[in-house]
C-alpha cells in the first residue's frame, strides 16, 4: 500500500477509511474495512462512534487480521476541549474509548474554541450548549492548545499531531511558535473546492495533506444541505465519467486518484463491498496531464462543510 512519510518519519497510508457518519454496525464495518485491506482509520470524538470503532479494531486484532502497529489510527480534538488543561484528559478518554495506548495522529478538528462541556454531561458535545447556542470559550488561544497537543507527543499518547480545517494565515502563525510542527493538514477537497494555494503552502512547510469529502456533494446530500442538493453530482459529471470510461474505472476511483496522484491522502468510506475494494485500488492507474487539467477547471470554490452555513455563525473561512 502506498504511504506518505510524515515529517517525523512516520508512514501514513495514502488511502484510509473515514469514520464520519458510520453510525450503524460500526464495529462490523471497521472490522470489514480492515479485512478488506484498509490500514488507516480516520475518526474523531465528534463522530460519536469511537467506542464501537475500537471494538471493531480489537476484533480484527484478535482474529489475526491485523496487528495494532499495522493500523494507523487518527482521531481529533473537538472544539469544546481546547483549554490547555482539557487536552490531555480528553485524549486519554478517547484512547480509552478506542481501547488503545496511543493514536498515530491527533488533529485539532476546527480552529475555533468553544466553551467546555463536561463529557459526563454530554458527549460528544457538538457545536452548541444546553440552550442550543454556539458559545465561544473565553480563553483557549491556539498557542496554548498547541502546546498541550505537543504534550501528548511527549507523554507518548500520540505519535504525530496536526490540524484540520485551518487556513493559511493561521497556519503561518502556528508555525512561528510550534516546537513540534504539524505533520498533517486535513481539509475538504474535491473538484468543486480545490484550494491550490493552501495545498501549496502545506507542501512548502512539509505538512502532508489529507483530503476529506473527496466526492463533493455526495457526502452532504443525505444531510439535507441545500447547496449539496443543488450541485451537480460529481459521479455523473461528464468530465469525470468520460475519464472513468477511458481508464475502465469508476468515477469514484477517478476522483480519488486525482488527489493521490497529486500527493494527497484520501479517506473515503463505502457501505458497498465492491466500492470498498475499488476505492483501495486507486493507485493502480494514472491520469494524464490533460485529464488532471480538465478536472482543475471544475473548481467553484464551493465549500460544503462550512459552519457559517449550518450554524449561522463562526465565519472561520471568511
Q: Which of 200, 153, 214, 156 is nearest to 181 (CA)?
A: 153
Alpha helices in 99-225 (DSSP H): 142-154, 168-177, 196-204, 218-221
Rounded to 10 degrees, what is the CA torsion of 251, 212, 62, 37?
A: 30
Name the nearest CA neighbour of 88 among 157, 138, 163, 141: 157
Q: Which residue has the cell 479494531?
A: 57
Question: 47 an active-site residue?
Answer: yes
206-to-51, 74, 138, 162 alpha-carbon distances in Å: 33, 19, 32, 12
Nearest one of 166, 218, 161 to 21, comparing CA atoms: 218
Q: Say which of 47, 116, 192, 212 is annotated catalytic.
A: 47
User: What nine digits make up the cell of 239?
Assistant: 468530465
For the chain, the distance separating the N- and C-terminal CA atoms, rounded to the nearest angstrom, is 38
* d(C-alpha 289, C-alpha 28), whole Å: 40
Burial of 193 (0-12, 13-18, 19+ CB in 10 A): buried
Yes or no: say if 167 and 198 are a contact pair by the CB < 8 Å rule: yes
Alpha helices (H) in 185-231, listed in sequence order: 196-204, 218-221, 226-229
CA distances from 9 to 160, 196, 204 (A): 10, 25, 17
**Cα–Cα distance measured from residue 76 to residue 161, given in angstroms and rounded to the nearest whole number:** 9
Is residue 190 part of an annotated ligand binding site? no
Assess contact for 253 and 235: CB atoms under 8 A: no
Show binding-site residues for substrate. Answer: 109
Show binding-site residues. Answer: 109
User: Which residue numbers are catalytic?
Assistant: 47
Amino acid at each position: 500500500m502506498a504511504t506518505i512519510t510524515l515529517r517525523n518519519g512516520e508512514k501514513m497510508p495514502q488511502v484510509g477509511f473515514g469514520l464520519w457518519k458510520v453510525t450503524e454496525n460500526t464495529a462490523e464495518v471497521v472490522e470489514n474495512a480492515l479485512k478488506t485491506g484498509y490500514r488507516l482509520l480516520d475518526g474523531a470524538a465528534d463522530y460519536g462512534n469511537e467506542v464501537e470503532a475500537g471494538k471493531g479494531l480489537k476484533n480484527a486484532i484478535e482474529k489475526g487480521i491485523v496487528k495494532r502497529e499495522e493500523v494507523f489510527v487518527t482521531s481529533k480534538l473537538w472544539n469544546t476541549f481546547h483549554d490547555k488543561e482539557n487536552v490531555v484528559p480528553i485524549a486519554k478518554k478517547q484512547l480509552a474509548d478506542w481501547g488503545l495506548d496511543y493514536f498515530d495522529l491527533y488533529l485539532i478538528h476546527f480552529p475555533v474554541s468553544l466553551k467546555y462541556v463536561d463529557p459526563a454531561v454530554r458527549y460528544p458535545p457538538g457545536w452548541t450548549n444546553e440552550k442550543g447556542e454556539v458559545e465561544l470559550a473565553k480563553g483557549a488561544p491556539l498557542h496554548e492548545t498547541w502546546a498541550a497537543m505537543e504534550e501528548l507527543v511527549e507523554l507518548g499518547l500520540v505519535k504525530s499531531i496536526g490540524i484540520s480545517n485551518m487556513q493559511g494565515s493561521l497556519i503561518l502563525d502556528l508555525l512561528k511558535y510550534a516546537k513540534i510542527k504539524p505533520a498533517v493538514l486535513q481539509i475538504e477537497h474535491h473538484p468543486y473546492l480545490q484550494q491550490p494555494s493552501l495545498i501549496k503552502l502545506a507542501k512548502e512547510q512539509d505538512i502532508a495533506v489529507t483530503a476529506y469529502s473527496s466526492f463533493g456533494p455526495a457526502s452532504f446530500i443525505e444531510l439535507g444541505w441545500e447547496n449539496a442538493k443543488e450541485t451537480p453530482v460529481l459521479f455523473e459529471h461528464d468530465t469525470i465519467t468520460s475519464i472513468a470510461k477511458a481508464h475502465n474505472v469508476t468515477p469514484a476511483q477517478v476522483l480519488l486518484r486525482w488527489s493521490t496522484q497529486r500527493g494527497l491522502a484520501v479517506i473515503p468510506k463505502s457501505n458497498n463491498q465492491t466500492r470498498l475494494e475499488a476505492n483501495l485500488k486507486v493507485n493502480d492507474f494514472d491520469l494524464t496531464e490533460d485529464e488532471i487539467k480538465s478536472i482543475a477547471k471544475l473548481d467553484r470554490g464551493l465549500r460544503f462543510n462550512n459552519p457559517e452555513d449550518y450554524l449561522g455563525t463562526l465565519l472561520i473561512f471568511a
